[in-house]
């Protein structure tokens, strides 16, 4: 996957204030406020920053956490993970492999078949139906 590089100025011009705060500054949207939290539409969830396909709606489930949750990405090649010890918690951050956008976190409490819960900010996604 080809890496997409832009200056902070270019990202600020392309994204809304909320998208920039979450995707480029590793923020989090408030729970139960995101556009895709309760969305049941079929399609592919793409990175709001670069358009890379990240998650298939068929792999989405209701985790009750207030954020869209998926039990697997489209491919291990589309997302990257990294240890995140911020805020006094031990978590695993999920980013877009193509552009480095912060998407959310992955937890080991999801459903079968993977047992994973990719907890993703709606503002980091665009659903292509």
Residue 2 falls within a domain, yes or no? no
Answer yes or no: is 3 within a domain: no
In a domain, 1, yes or no: no
β-strands 53-56, 60-61 pairing: unpaired
Tell me how far apart the alpha carbons of residues 3 and 39 are, in angstroms, rounded to a whole number.
Answer: 29
Residue 86 has pLDDT above 80, yes or no: no
Residue 89 clears pLDDT 80, i.e. is over it: no
Instruction: Supply the CATH number for residue 106's domain.
Output: 2.170.150.20
* pLDDT over threshold 80, residue 88: no
Structural domain count, the chain: 1
Q: Which residues are catalytic?
A: 119
Give the domain extent around 69.
Answer: 8-128
Is the residue at 109 inside a domain? Answer: yes
pLDDT over 70 (residue 84)? yes
Q: Per the domain annotation, does 32 fall within a domain? A: yes
Please work out, in degrees rounded to the nearest 5, the angle formed at the alpha carbon of residue 71 by the alpha carbons of 2 and 84. 65
In a domain, 123, yes or no: yes
**Which of the four pLDDT bands, split at 50, 70 and 90, describes residue 75?**
very high
- Residue 95 falls inside a structural domain: yes
The CA distance from 37 to 52, in Å, is 20
């Amino acid at each position: 996957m080809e890496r997409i590089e832009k200056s902070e100025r270019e990202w600020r011009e392309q994204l809304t204030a909320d998208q920039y705060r979450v995707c480029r500054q590793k923020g989090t949207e408030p729970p139960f406020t995101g556009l895709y939290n309760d969305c049941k539409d079929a399609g592919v969830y793409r990175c709001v920053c670069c358009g890379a396909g990240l998650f298939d709606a068929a792999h989405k489930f209701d985790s009750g956490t207030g954020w869209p949750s998926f039990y697997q990405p489209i491919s291990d090649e589309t997302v990257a993970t990294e240890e995140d010890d911020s805020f006094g918690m031990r978590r695993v951050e999920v980013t877009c492999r193509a552009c480095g956008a912060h998407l959310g976190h992955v937890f080991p409490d999801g459903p079968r078949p993977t047992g994973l819960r990719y907890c993703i900010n709606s503002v980091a996604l665009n659903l292509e139906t």
